[in-house]
Amino acid sequence: MAKVYPETIIPVVNAKNPFVLTVWKKSLLFGCDGFTVYNSNGNLAFRVDNYFVKGNREIVLMDASGRSLHTIRRKMLSLANNFLVYDGESVNPRFSVTKHVNVLNTKSLAYVSTSKNRNKRNVIYEIQGSYAHGRNQRGVKRRRCVAEIRRKEAKGGVALGGDVFALVVQPSIDPTIAMVLVIVLDQMFDSSRRFSK
């Protein structure tokens, strides 16, 4: 399953436990495509409602009340599958997510980077694993996982369908950023096959 690794060493924070979100690939609105995300208490945490399912170039991650947290835009005229992420509805991108296309390195799915200047990119996270097939991948040495998609199980060990999964977020990453990365992976890869094998 997909895991996010920082490119720099992040100190271990012992004060908090991981934050677990339940992600349901279903919109709360009829006729829309999106996500509904619940916190560990079962309360609505985030939502994504896409009115134009096919060809939509902009996706908005909202809080429970509908306030825009992050806007995700597909970068047009790009050779790679590239997405720009903005805080709220700002005009300057916070970071970009680019699909990994090297066939020799099959563990990497995508890279999250910031732009230091026009020509140089600073990679801050590497996303590894298999989003489409839900297979676990080993972590990279000297780095630790800051967010992970896991199969969601009901009480008694019964696995739920592929449209419901757990997003485990460590204290060293903002849960909204982890959810943005899930949305981008969903756009990059066929999510209907997420846990098919």
Mean pLDDT of 25-41: 84
| pLDDT given for residue 136 in this prediction | 37
pLDDT tens per residue, range 70-92? 999 988 776 668 899 999 988 89
CA angle 149, 139, 69 (to 5 degrees): 40
When the pLDDT of each residue in the chain is averaged and rounded to a whole number, the result is 76
Digit-coded pLDDT (tens) for 108-166? 888 899 866 555 568 888 888 876 544 333 333 346 788 988 888 777 766 667 788 88
The Cα–Cα gap between 27 and 193 comes to 18
In the chain, what are the domain boundaries? 3-56+75-80+96-193
In three state form, how does the secondary structure of 108-148 look? Answer: EEEEEEEECCCCCEEEEEEEECCCCCCCCCCCCCCCCCCEE
